[in-house]
Structure 1
């Protein structure tokens, strides 16, 4: 190959890799689809109408529009203000680095350059695998099926070092089960990607403003169903099928457009932290809904948000449970106030406040606490009183098990906040959070495919991570994530071959 097109050089990451005696597993590589080849598969599954649906879904995936259907870039500043049109991303993919652009589109080139990147195995997230979620109900399932079939065929010959995820729709549990079984049993795919939530209409508003007559109200008046709590559907059959088939779940669920992330002018304002917020809502729903209690074998990778939020939530789950478990919450029950003692203390110390007025013992508690002391129509009981009831939390160790065992947190290579995952002094019970190395190559935050592993090693040299933390980050935690869901996940791969010749295991 022409040297100008394919420069042969030892990258910084190759130098880092040379000193390691264990494999490197990249849990998050984004690749592009060559549109004509993909559309051949889509055509097979649904003809020209499905191809058109794919193009519309791709064109509208990030776009927000006004009532006339014009996206942000077609509107004037005044129109954006009037419609509160969310600023969408732009220039989101690598282009100036043309070699990398081709690498993310050509599977043979990606497989060849994996050594240059410093990875032994990569899990691929084709950018188009997320597109069908933007399609209508009629097209969502066939689009998922066509796109998954295309990716399974495209990367099959590189299965020893590359595997693409299967996109799974979850508007209903049954829909998810059908596509999961097709992806795993028919196509042989072994990792799935889901949206962390589904937008649904608010029933009371949908009845008052039917979608056909009020499409704008229907578009804006909705809520997010995070599956695990407050859902109109029982998703347990889907989680059970995932565990039965031995499939790790991943998500890149974001929160752009949510309150606090809805700037009409600044993409970065909307972007920073949005993956962490979106995944946090999804993960908390599964925890508080008892999903991780009922399905302890479920393994979920929450990608692109970093691992520090996983430590943050773990710490606060413990803090809050200690203050508001079903016994401790009685500290705040108005019924347990000693009204005689309260009155005597007012008599002794409160003359400046009471100004000689006689104390009314019947209203003294209310007068002291304000409106928060007013009685409810009835007192909460059972699970209403204990927010941790469905999660089955009886002791701090249960929180550690049902949060830290189930969830793995994708951190990008240069993310210094990953240090929080390994901070055993701050994390309750001296625990470490499952940070997994997620390079995110293929997106705008990685302009050079060869840099991420070296950037993560820079954190060791800067004292953010220890060498042991680094090993857990790029190998140990990713290996456990996949093999705890499926012990045979790496059978026949470069990871298995490297481990078989190494004196150091997982």
Structure 2
């Protein structure tokens, strides 16, 4: 092995706003025209001259190859039709708007299938769904899988006050069942589960403190809700939420799991009511569920997280560049890999930078190896510790300090 085959498990793409129109059912065209005419994009990066990185396939391939990346898992980024922003968590206030938003997500998914087809075997597109109607979500999972989207689904958040059932609810069992049946990964991306915080000056700081925690909730909701007991083949991927928090949180969940199961067998204790019925419904311990069913999209993995890789699970970690976001490592992904992984055994680096993602998302690793033989970072290069951070690097991967942070 002279070069690493690097698959980014966290990239983002989407169509330019008006380019979604051909992918909408015709009956929505007039409504789309009216909506698009008044829409104001809230995101500066989608107005900049670099916005076409989201939809310009040739530019994207060239920039990723220059960055040493040969394949990508493609999460959404631009705004789908009829949405005020990219957030999927808030329920639509009316039936009409709900139907329009589903039409917008189907349009994005159709566009994404075509976009992935422009770089065969190099893109695993992540389909978007809503949770308000699980039967409709199941239909979209089947349709997008048949259309060639291999990145799974993006699981929306269900924050407090959202108006939809919490993720531990068995109402979602049909969705987990079809994902298990079709081997469709369930992806939960950071930032997609926080409740609205308002416009007070402290809102941004509170968001930064809480946003990853709200994203982590999907793990313990599905564990304690018994989703993995009823669907043992279900795969959950937690992406761009960090990875250093995992060992401690899994240990904490194991503690509560054991405590609740034990309490259920002692009817005279004050805690017995909390454990009643849980012993049978939860199934395996959280650490066993993590071992058998869960993965982490460890976007731009930080140096302080790397020593925890064995506790996280070396076969669980999938590096991501977060292209084309400002917080991503591009165009310095080689330097990002060096600052995190220099000095590690090459076989471990190969697993975290490509092998694990190929297994989870079904990439043809042999085919990608042939591309990486030309553009992938060399083993010798990544083995060299990074002594100087590029002065214009914007990714938190290069932030100083952080040696004791584990969340």
Establish whether TM, by shorter chain, passes 0.5: yes
Report the equivalent of 2:298. 411
Change (3 A) 1:474 1:268: farther
Matched, 1:437 2:319: yes
Report the equivalent of 2:384. none
Matches within 5 A, 1:344-363: none
Superposition deviation, residue 163 in structure 1: 3.2
Matches within 5 A, 1:482-493: 482=361, 489-491=362-364
Matched, 1:191 2:151: yes
CA–CA distance in structure 2, aligned partners of residues 441 and 416 of structure 1: 20
Matched, 1:390 2:340: no
Report the equivalent of 2:29. 47
Change (3 A) 1:493 1:450: farther
Structure 2 residue corresponding to 1:35, chosen from 17, 26, 48: 17
CA–CA distance in structure 1, aligned partners of residues 354 and 78 of structure 2: 27
Report the equivalent of 1:456. 337
Structure 2 residue corresponding to 1:480, chosen from 354, 359, 366: 359
Report the equivalent of 2:63. 113
CA–CA distance in structure 1, aligned partners of residues 345 and 366 of structure 2: 28
CA–CA distance in structure 2, aligned partners of residues 55 and 164 of structure 1: 28
Superposition deviation, residue 103 in structure 1: 3.1
Indicate conservation of the 8 Å contact 2:153/2:187, yes or no.
yes
What is the number of residues matched between the two proteins? 363
Change (3 A) 1:256 1:471: same
Structure 2 residue corresponding to 1:286, chosen from 212, 222, 236: 222
For structure 2, which runs of at least 5 residues remain unmatched after alignment?
374-407
Indicate conservation of the 8 Å contact 2:298/2:317, yes or no.
yes
Superposition deviation, residue 302 in structure 1: 1.3
Superposition deviation, residue 399 in structure 1: 3.2
Structure 1 residue corresponding to 2:255, chosen from 319, 328, 342: 319
Indicate conservation of the 8 Å contact 2:126/2:154, yes or no.
no
Q: Deviations over 1:201-247 (max 9, x none)?
A: xxxxxxxxxxxxxxxxxxxx6556332x2x3x622121111121221
Matched, 1:177 2:56: no
Report the equivalent of 2:100. 139
Change (3 A) 1:116 1:402: same
Report the equivalent of 1:127. 77
Q: Secondary structure at the match of 2:184?
A: coil
Change (3 A) 1:54 1:94: closer
CA–CA distance in structure 2, aligned partners of residues 246 and 53 of structure 1: 36
Superposition deviation, residue 455 in structure 1: 0.8
Matches within 5 A, 1:187-266: 187-198=147-158, 222=162, 225-227=165-167, 229=168, 231=169, 234-254=171-191, 258=195, 264-266=200-202
Matched, 1:300 2:236: yes
Superposition deviation, residue 310 in structure 1: 2.3
Q: Deviations over 1:3-23 (max 9, x none)?
A: xxxxxxxxxxxxxxxx85441
Superposition deviation, residue 287 in structure 1: 0.5
TM-score, normalisation: structure 1: 0.62
Q: Deviations over 1:365-398 (max 9, x none)?
A: xxxxxxxx8xxxxx846x74364542213xxxx4
Report the equivalent of 2:5. 23
Q: Deviations over 1:162-187 (max 9, x none)?
A: 232211222121011111122122x2
Change (3 A) 1:162 1:48: same
Indicate the larger mover: 473-482 or 294-303.
Answer: 473-482
Q: Deviations over 1:454-503 (max 9, x none)?
A: 21221233x7x665543332123222322xxxxxx224983265699xxx
Q: Secondary structure at the match of 2:118?
A: helix
Q: Which has the larger radius of gyration?
A: 1
Q: Secondary structure at the match of 1:111?
A: helix
Report the equivalent of 2:128. 167
Superposition deviation, residue 329 in structure 1: 7.2
Indicate conservation of the 8 Å contact 2:194/2:210, yes or no.
no
CA–CA distance in structure 2, aligned partners of residues 52 and 35 of structure 1: 13
Q: Secondary structure at the match of 1:495?
A: helix
